[in-house]
Structure 1
Amino acid sequence: MINQKAGSVVFQNVRKTFGAFTAIPDLSLAIEPGTLVTLLGPSGCGKTTTLRMLAGLEHPSAGKILIGGKDVTMLPANERDVSMVFQSYALFPHMNARDNVAYGLDASGLSRKEAREKADEGLALVGLAGMGHRLPAELSGGQQQRVAVARALVLEPQVLLLDEPLSNLDARLRRKVRTDIRELQQRLGFTAVYVTHDQEEALAVSDRIIIMKDGEVAQSGAPRDLYEAPASAFIADFMGEANVIPCEVVGIDGADAEIRIGGFEHRVPAGRATPGAASLAVRPGAIALSEGQGQGLAGRILHSAYLGDHVEYEVETDVGTLFIVDHAVDRILPVASDATLGFRSRGIALIST
């Protein structure tokens, strides 16, 4: 479902400098209405600066920003038809949940009665019906975050902005609230731009992920595409740990490539590979590990750690030390023993280095 109020977002050759420092050199991107798009990347990559420019809290040094087809590049924040959810929640501690949600509505010219009625509707939307009388201190962290989301949604913005919205929650509560946010976005169909440095969070909530590096788009796509077909070693490692292994592409056969790793040959999706030296990104869970010497890449167990539902190994091979996650917890290979490594059909991709 696409909300009729949901707006598109377009950045056209946007540049942002702070004195002599260029935070965003030349950024172009487009976000479709009714989608949840995550800006993901390490600290200092430009994702928060991008969000602040979209919110009107910073202005570009060059380029254009459009929301719903309207040029908002130099408009102040209160004229942009966006709402923002901050990582600190920014709730007023002396106001109950209903009054916190109604705060922006009061400023919009609605009567006090209309604002409170709409605030109650907003609280019901986020699963907090009947809790409007509670002060923030009487709510859990997850409930406070939902109040902050309700406060943003009742203003019916074209775009909802979420800046690290789960960073103050513990791990279990983060899983719960991210599910709530995703379900709410899909049910109501609003456009959302979500900023996080947490890869798992981005995979869980997004229609599309834009990975940023040094103020630029390093790769953009659906979560599954980015995880299973990273374009570079940076993307492969950032989207979940990956072993980057030197290999040789010895031949291309349709959509597959024949690669050689040491003396071991294997077929993988070719992508845009050409014959010659290459690199292979291999997820830790995509390596099949067996005891002793056999058909595959020879290795030697350097370290093992039992972690309940899986065992983590470090294995020395001719192409370097590889990190492996093995769910065969009923047998743990001893340190210093020989092992044979093979590759599963998923979780491996040829990449550019």
Structure 2
Amino acid sequence: MNAGSVVFEHVSKRFAGFTALPDLSLTVEAGTLVTLLGPSGCGKTTTLRLLAGLEHPTSGRILIGGKDVTHLPANERDVAMVFQSYALFPHMTALENIMYGLQSGGVAKREAQDRAREGLRLVGLENQGGRLPSELSGGQQQRIAVARALVLEPQVLLLDEPLSNLDERLRRRVRTDIRDLQQRLGFTAVYVTHDQEEALAVSDKIIVMKEGDIAQQGAPETLYHSPESVFIADFMGEANILPCEIERHEDDYALVRLGRQQYRVRGHAGRTGAAQLSVRPQFITLTDNDAGALRGEIIHRTWLGDHIEYEVQTELGALFIVDALMEQQLAISASVAVDFKPQGLALIAN
């Protein structure tokens, strides 16, 4: 496919009495899948609409494949969009839905049929072309919507909350389908979601947005394990934010005092003194002995089948803890020792 890069250069978007994007600059490399992630109202959907040509910026430039498309209409941008609702025509078969965009663009019927059949094959539905949308499952409808966009051979595929209408199990399967397809075909994709797990699963790069600005961007592993702010630490999965003391450094590690224990935490060379530590709940251990970094009391417990969630009150505040091993069930009001696995600790940059 003809994969193209995407560049936003100091793009702003103002509506009457409201600034959605104050000054946005970002780059999506050709052939990568980049996710715009953030809470409602952060500007991610506005960014996608600007890229699609459904909105136009107040200032700045947008480039696709090196071409300035800032003022071009949507039909001249060489992008295709997969909508949240799929927007399939109910009276057309799957094959006809995929053909529609091609024929609207002037492609002859025979060629449109051939390309539509190839689209069905790409998404693994080559035997479903004669079915109406109502005869397809939600996951199959979603894949038809993707195929309809892919056969247009756009430089950039845009996906706006594409899995929001699916149940949790189907979401996991279809997000894997999308990621496998993107890696196999090498197209550029910009994916919008508010679901952190979804973003971690599909992305080459995640751009986390907050109030129209980029809060942090990078590989999924970087954002999860090296958050630059409390907002990122808490937004990229559950996190406990605890005060700590950086005592000294050894090579690429900081020696951090947390309660009665010292831990080696990667990063922040040269910095000492008071700091904040992000602690993932699945990397906290509870025992009923006197060891550990902190002492605490269990104030809440929830059994959820494959794990137990605890809330434990300590001298540093309440901690949220996930016990996936479930080797023992500790009672509410029990006094416990709290300890931390180093791989679940991350110093927050600011």
TM-score (norm 2): 0.97
Please, which of 299, 302, 316 is the counterpart of residue 302 of structure 1? Answer: 299
Matched ranges for 1:197-236 at <5 A: 197-236=194-233
Q: In structure 2, what is the equivalent of residue 134 of structure 1? A: 131
Q: Is 2:43 the counterpart of 1:43?
A: no
Query: RMSD value over aligned CA atoms?
Result: 1.2
Q: In structure 2, what is the equivalent of residue 351 of structure 1? A: 348
Q: Is 2:167 the counterpart of 1:179?
A: no
Q: Is 2:269 the counterpart of 1:266?
A: no
For 1:121 and 1:52, the matched residues in 2 are separated by 28
Q: Is 2:159 the counterpart of 1:162?
A: yes
* 1:117 CA displacement: 1.6
Q: In structure 2, what is the equivalent of residue 342 of structure 1? A: 339
Larger mean Cα displacement after TM superposition, 161-170 or 114-123: 114-123
TM-score (norm 1): 0.96
**Secondary structure class of the residue paired with 1:60:** coil
* 1:333 CA displacement: 1.4
For 2:201 and 2:325, the matched residues in 1 are separated by 26
**Secondary structure class of the residue paired with 1:271:** coil
**Secondary structure class of the residue paired with 1:162:** strand
For 1:192 and 1:110, the matched residues in 2 are separated by 24
Q: In structure 2, what is the equivalent of residue 101 of structure 1? A: 98
For 1:266 and 1:316, the matched residues in 2 are separated by 21
Q: In structure 2, what is the equivalent of residue 290 of structure 1? A: 287
* 1:273 CA displacement: 6.6
For 1:277 and 1:30, the matched residues in 2 are separated by 35
From the superposition, tell whether residues 273 and 94 of structure 1 become closer, same or farther in structure 2 (CA, over 3 Å).
farther
User: Partner amino acid for 1:223?
Assistant: P
Would you say the 8 A contact 2:83–2:159 is kept in 1? yes
- Identity across the alignment (%): 65
Gapped regions of structure 1 (runs ≥ 5): none
Q: In structure 2, what is the equivalent of residue 114 of structure 1? A: 111
Would you say the 8 A contact 1:310–1:329 is kept in 2? yes
After superposition, the C-alpha distances for 1:117-176 in whole angstroms (9 at most, x for unaligned) are 211111111111021111111111111111100000000000000000000011111111
From the superposition, tell whether residues 272 and 63 of structure 1 become closer, same or farther in structure 2 (CA, over 3 Å).
farther
For 2:264 and 2:175, the matched residues in 1 are separated by 37
**Secondary structure class of the residue paired with 2:238:** coil
After superposition, the C-alpha distances for 1:45-94 in whole angstroms (9 at most, x for unaligned) are 00000000000000010000000000000100000000000000000111
**Secondary structure class of the residue paired with 1:99:** helix
* Alignment: residue pair count: 350
* 1:197 CA displacement: 0.2
Matched ranges for 1:9-158 at <5 A: 9-158=6-155
Gapped regions of structure 2 (runs ≥ 5): none
**Secondary structure class of the residue paired with 2:343:** coil
* 1:272 CA displacement: 5.4
From the superposition, tell whether residues 96 and 314 of structure 1 become closer, same or farther in structure 2 (CA, over 3 Å).
same
From the superposition, tell whether residues 272 and 103 of structure 1 become closer, same or farther in structure 2 (CA, over 3 Å).
farther
Larger mean Cα displacement after TM superposition, 277-286 or 107-116: 107-116
For 2:106 and 2:270, the matched residues in 1 are separated by 60
> Runs of 4 or more off by more than 3 Å in structure 1?
none
Q: In structure 2, what is the equivalent of residue 322 of structure 1? A: 319
Q: Is 2:237 the counterpart of 1:240?
A: yes
After superposition, the C-alpha distances for 1:321-340 in whole angstroms (9 at most, x for unaligned) are 00111123131112212211
For 2:278 and 2:261, the matched residues in 1 are separated by 16
* 1:107 CA displacement: 1.5
* 1:303 CA displacement: 1.6
After superposition, the C-alpha distances for 1:8-58 in whole angstroms (9 at most, x for unaligned) are 000000001002211001110111111000000000000000000000000
User: Partner amino acid for 1:169?
Assistant: L
**Secondary structure class of the residue paired with 1:146:** helix
